[in-house]
Amino acid sequence: MVYQLRYKSKAAAIAELIKKGVLRNDLTYAPETHAVVYIGKIVDKPATINADGEIETEATYLDGYHVDVMSDKKLTFKSKVTPASPVHKFG
């Protein structure tokens, strides 16, 4: 199972992943966990930069701190999202 998740912070993500049994307290993977990818902030609209290399418009970001999880264990997350254009995919 692949889970795409969004949290308020990396600390909140880690806390829930430990609570759900995805990670152990030492942050190693639980036996059913194949991968945890800490994506962080996702760019919504990139910055625009002029020919002189100066930023004309700052980048904007989607809300939250994003994490992808691959696990054999069926889990339920309140923070699960379904992005239209994921920035990360498992092969």
For residue 4, count other CB atoms closer than 10 A to its CB.
20
d(CA 63, CA 49): 23
pTM comes to 0.82
User: Is the pLDDT reported for residue 81 higher than 80?
Assistant: yes
Q: Where are the alpha helices (DSSP H) in 1-91?
A: 10-19
In 1-91, DSSP assigns E strands to: 2-7, 33-40, 43-45, 48-49, 55-57, 60-61, 65-71
CA atoms within 13 A on the CB side of 52: 3
Residue-wise pLDDT for 3-49, tens only, equals 999 999 999 999 999 999 999 999 999 999 999 999 999 999 999 99
Question: Hey, where are the domains in the chain?
Answer: 2-71
